[in-house]
A and B are shown apart, each in its own frame.
Chain A
């Protein structure tokens, strides 16, 4: 508790480069960038693979690899290989780790849709893409949102670890605090990261309420 007062009460963390609002904005900026790029790649790909049934192997392999690959190792290796300087060497592993949850859940959502629904949509004269976007997508939405949530959580956590290879954001407090044995800073930073993760989690719960069709929600 004293650490929290020491951290949040210190003027050092409210002005300059190391100010909490600046670190928080950085964290949000990197996380959002990586998350958005990952979603732009993974959602269309997942829809395509789920709808056509071609390339399902990619989904399985990426799901397993994402779980087994150690984040920290991937980060240091990619950044060492590409070199520090710009943001991209750090963003690439972040994006790579953010893709699998979205890809897997989008694919599962479309694949797992009731075959009767698919047949009925075709029977009503809808074309392939109409079936996908008007019938299957709304039904798959809860799973897709789950994938997006898991991915957002992964990105926030990984961005924290990425402070080790020089990324700004809230992870800086933890990494810098550990390096200088300033445990109040470590603790305060960790609490901020936890609060951010909880905010993301809550945001997705609310989003789920707003955009998932009430009919779909009832069935589940």
Chain B
């Protein structure tokens, strides 16, 4: 093999070359398309998850639907949405939001179930009103379980965005297409490394957030 896996000068030239496919721009697009679905997913999953935890009959059907959604291949969803939203970032963001929901709703429900009954009863006995009990007692206890789900959702979302390159909106995934068409390893390797690095950083950020949100867990350890 004559071609080296990585040509460093290519990276230097293409990191910020001012064009729409400079690595820096692709990275920014990638972050937006991966980040929005997770945040929107979390904002939808919390109320839905709370409803499922409160009204048990909602839980089975919701999880059933989410399981089905999760089984749909991303490329197929992107392709179907193309007819509605066209070649825009929205076409990637909507399916990824659905995938995030499929992970996050069960996580919120499991989190609420991880609140021990005696804790809930103590809160009632201490005179906590339902809303305050939820925000001051139940949600903080549910944080570790919800964040474990959030880690899965964030990492999957970051890696799945690149499939969007096949419909022209894939952030760093463009580098895979570019490298394939030119039989050129460097963009592909750069793309994989950046996607994995992004995933690791997101994972770390959530771990740090968990430590900050649950100081009692640290003290106990």
Q: Which of B65-73, B106-114, B115-123, B125-133 contacts A (4 or more CB under 8 A)?
A: B65-73
B70 proximity list for chain A (CB < 8 A) = 153
Contact status of A70 and B159, CB under 8 A, knowing A76-B176, A190-B80, A197-B72: yes
Instruction: Tell whether B45 is near chain A: CB-to-CB under 8 Å.
Output: no
The size class of the interface chain A forms with chain B is 35 or more
Chain A, interface SS category: helix
Instruction: Tell whether B183 is near chain A: CB-to-CB under 8 Å.
Output: yes
Q: CA A169 – CA B200 in complex, angstroms?
A: 33
Instruction: Tell whether A77 is near chain B: CB-to-CB under 8 Å.
Output: yes
Q: Are B74 and A70 in contact (CB under 8 A)?
A: no
Q: Are B192 and A73 in contact (CB under 8 A)?
A: yes
Contact status of A197 and B73, CB under 8 A, knowing A76-B188, A178-B167: yes
Q: Are B83 and A3 in contact (CB under 8 A)?
A: yes
A160 proximity list for chain B (CB < 8 A) = 73, 75-76
Point out the residue from B77, B158, B179 that lies within 8 Å of A76, measured CB to CB.
B179
Q: Which of A118-126, A129-137, A181-189, A209-217 contacts B (4 or more CB under 8 A)?
A: A181-189
B170 proximity list for chain A (CB < 8 A) = 72
- Return the CB mask of A182-209 against B: 1 if under 8 Å, else 0: 0100110111011001101100000000
Max chain A Cβ within 10 angstroms of own Cβ: one of B160, B163, B179: B163
Q: CA A161 – CA B175 in complex, angstroms?
A: 15
Q: Are A68 and B199 in contact (CB under 8 A)?
A: yes
A161 proximity list for chain B (CB < 8 A) = 73, 75, 163, 166
Q: Are B188 and A178 in contact (CB under 8 A)?
A: no
A177 proximity list for chain B (CB < 8 A) = 79
Point out the residue from B75, B152, B185, B195 that lies within 8 Å of A70, measured CB to CB.
B195
Chain B residues with CB under 8 Å of chain A are 1, 67-68, 70-77, 79-80, 82-83, 152, 155-156, 158-160, 162-163, 165-167, 170, 172-173, 175-177, 179-180, 183, 185, 188-189, 191-192, 195-196, 199-200, 203
Given A68-B195, A77-B185, output 7 extra A-B contacts at Cβ < 8 Å.
Answer: A69-B192, A70-B163, A72-B173, A73-B175, A81-B1, A186-B82, A190-B75
